[in-house]
Amino acid sequence: MTTVTADPAPSTPPGRSARPSRLRRSWDKHWYAWAMVLPVVIVLAVLIFYPLFRGIWLSFTSLTEANQAAEICTRSITGGEVCADNPNKWEFVGLDNYVRVLTGEVGDFWQWTGTTLIWTFVCVAFHFGLGLGLATMINRPMRFRSLYRVLLILPWAVPAFVSAFAWKFIFNERFGLANALLTAVGIDPVSWFSDRWTALLTAIVTNIWLGVPFMMVALLGGMQTIPGELYEAAEIDGASAWQRFKNITLPGLRPVSMTVVLLGTIWTFNMFPIIFLVTEGQPAGQSEILVTGAYRAAFEGIRNYSLASTYGVLILSILLVFSVFYRRALRKQGEVW
Amino acid sequence: MTEKTATPPTVTAVAGPALAKTRAVRRTGRSRRSPAMSVLLHGTLILASLIAIGPIAWVLLSSLKPGYAIQSSELTLFRDTTLANYSYVLTETNFPRWFLNSVIVAAFTMSIGIFLSATTGYAVSRFNFPGRRPLMMVFLVTQMFPVAILIVPIYTIMARLGLINTMPALIIAYLTIAVPFCAWMLKGYFDSIPTSLDEAAALDGCGPFATFWRVVLPLARPAVAVTAFYTFLTAWGEVAYASAFIQTDNKFTLAYGLQQFVPQFNPQWEYLTAAAVLVTIPAGLVFFFAQKHLVSGLTAGGTKG
């Protein structure tokens, strides 16, 4: 019965001071929980939170690759080094970066934001709609069910850059499959990447293809947690298939859908490789979303660290505001999450 | 011979009714679907499956064509089928080396990732310790950080730690991407395992770590399979961090090394297609072993935030 492990058993031995400090008791009770999360906390603190706070600080400075040195050293003919203070050293500039970004002095913040919103909304809507539809279809006894399931989840297993490449190949103007199919049915080939909307379309198609499997699997999992008796009862009461879907499946999926829609929105909003590799911002940067636009604005040519940080802070704020409102809206509908 | 073939039917005959019964109980049975509905259902699913595998299949077919056939506007499934693209990629480039690097990075990310997410997920699921709720929030917030923007600050940290151009740099960076989501998902799965099991284990003299390791973790196998799949894939296909942290050819990962076939103006499509297929195969293998568990593993993970 007695535990051999160093369990936090000492529940105030009688001889010692009546009650140990609160911290001590808390430690005794929770040390193994803390020990279990400690590695993750350290890694996140070093690699996520330190960069985050440093990024917030940098966004108020003018740090770039060119002015980061505190001293400029020049090698004299004799071999010695002469160092002088860098006259153009980076400095605190207050809100300058934000003003420059938001007024459109560098980059196209508002256009990128618009594109990002369209991109996120369309992608997530299709992910969820198609995922829900396919999950509903597959969540019933039928022949080849597991075969369909494997085939439909397959795009998830393809690395993002490979799918980006595959779709770029398909949308190639000269020899792509898409144009070949269009020509076959008598439509003129489209030069996909010379118009903002067709370029965006290619990226959206790619991302939908890539993202549906995750939604489908998550929703399918959610559907399987809905008790079958509910459906039986509804059937006995004479509910139609649509009524059963609307009144049992959808409410039963609420917890799952809320989470996956929130996650999907965040992931799509920050989906870097698809736009970066498929459209490359063509034509002339018009199909950029915020992350890719920011990346190009800040890192092409002289790397502008402060500008990159400014964009990062803006993107993070947008997503934080979104998730706060999202959760508040859900809570209003009587869901505590 | 005849006897051998005779056995399976009897087995299914025994299992058949029971199986059919459970199915009929769960949902409306197959028998009650009208033929038109059946056709519609299977038609839609076949179409969807074709779209799902189409692009991969097309790349696979193209990789078997010589360069001039790929770049022709005529649409053919097969033309002058050859394995030349594969032999070029496998022998003329540093492919085997990159492949090995990728396997090392992905394997370490996977094993460390599973361990970290499982312990964290378990702690968050079972113990109501101070800092639990903030930690859950942090997991969500980390998903909001644009990787592209984080690269430079992380680069400076890695440089300060002396990890630039080493594999640990990549492994650590990939862990920061994968672990928050996996821990969150595993937490959901652990929530679905009754705590009475933990209590029983504690009565039998297991400490919290032994309970976790011997009792709960084996029960969470589906969710662990999903974690393995997710962490492997994160490490296997990532390009951005790899391009920032790795500088010498012999340390490239596969995903990044193959980017070299995409020069700005004249992409070598024939090698790219072959390389894409070669990169996808290992990911496909991991997927094959994990797919059975994907649905059940993600089930509980999704139900609770």
**Residue ranges per domain, chain B?**
91-303
DSSP per residue, A285-332: TTT--HHHHHHHHHHSSS--HHHHHHHHHHHHHHHHHHHHHHHHHHHH
Mutate which of A149, A161, A288, A331 to test chain B, going by most B C-beta atoms within 10 A? A161
Phi, psi dihedrals of residue A289, rounded to the nearest 5°: -100, 180
B18 interfacial to chain A (CB closer than 8 Å) = no
Cα(A298)–Cα(A301) distance, integer angstroms? 8
* Listed residue (B129, B119, B246) closest to B183, CA to CA: B119
Chain B residues touching A55 at Cβ < 8 A: 149-150, 153
CB contact under 8 A, B152 and A299: yes
pLDDT tens per residue, range B115-132: 888 888 888 887 777 778
> What three-state secondary structure class fits A270?
coil
> Closest by alpha carbon to A276, among B238, B222, B61, B301?
B238
- Could you say which of A33, A174, A213 has the minimum Cβ distance to residue B123? A33
Q: Residue A212 corresponds to which tokens in the numbers above?
A: 């549906």
Residues of B in contact with A290 (CB under 8 A): 146
Determine the average pLDDT of the residues in B131-151. Answer: 78
Window 24-53 of B: residues touching A by CB (8 A cutoff) are 25-30, 38, 41-42, 44-45, 48-49, 51-53
Q: What is the average pLDDT value for chain B, to the nearest integer?
A: 75
Tell me the mean pLDDT in the region B246-252. 80
Q: Which residue, A167, A245, A270, A266, is CA-closest to A210?
A: A167
Give the SS3 label for residue A75. strand
Is B56's Cβ below 8 Å from some Cβ in A?
yes
For position A156, what pLDDT does the model report?
A: 85
> Which of B120, B129, B144 lies nearest to residue A319, judging by beta carbons?
B144
H or E element at residue A71: strand A71-75
Q: Which residue in A97, A73, A151, A128 sits closest to A311, CA to CA?
A: A97
Burial (CB < 10 A; 0-12, 13-18, 19+), residue B199, is exposed
Looking at residue A77, its pLDDT comes to 67
| Contact call for residues B260 and A143 (beta carbons, < 8 A) | no
Q: Which residue among B72, B130, B294 places its CB closest to the CB of A175?
A: B72
pLDDT in tens, B51-76: 888 888 888 888 887 767 666 666 66
pLDDT in tens, chain A (337 residues): 343 444 444 444 444 444 567 777 777 777 777 777 788 888 888 777 788 888 888 878 777 776 776 666 666 666 667 676 666 677 777 777 788 778 877 777 888 888 889 989 999 999 999 999 888 888 877 778 778 888 888 888 888 888 888 888 888 777 778 877 888 787 777 777 777 888 888 888 888 998 898 888 888 888 877 778 888 888 888 878 888 888 888 888 887 788 788 888 888 888 887 888 777 767 777 778 888 887 877 777 777 778 888 888 888 888 888 888 888 887 766 544 4
Residue B119: name the closest of A43, A135, A243 by CA.
A43
Contacts of B305 in chain A (CB under 8 A): 255, 258-259, 337
pLDDT confidence of residue B25: 42
Q: Coil, strand or helix: which one is A144? A: coil
Residue B170 vs residue A192, higher pLDDT: B170
* Smallest CA–CA distance from A38 into chain B, residue: B120
Q: Which residue of A has its CA nearest to B141?
A: A320
Q: Where are the alpha helices (DSSP H) in A18-58?
A: 22-44, 50-58
* Cis upstream peptide for A189 (omega within 30°): no
Closest CA to A213 of B67, B48, B33, B188: B48
pTM for this structure? 0.79
Domain B91-303 in CATH 1.10.3720.10? yes
> Is 0.85 exceeded by the ipTM?
no
| pLDDT tens figures, B17-51 | 344 444 444 444 444 678 888 888 888 888 888 88
Residues of A in contact with B240 (CB under 8 A): 272-273
DSSP annotation of A140 reads S
Chain B partners within 8 Å of A316 (Cβ): 144-146
Best of A24, A40, A97, A310 to mutate (most B CBs within 10 Å, chain B) = A40
- Domains with residue ranges and CATH for chain A: 102-332 (1.10.3720.10)
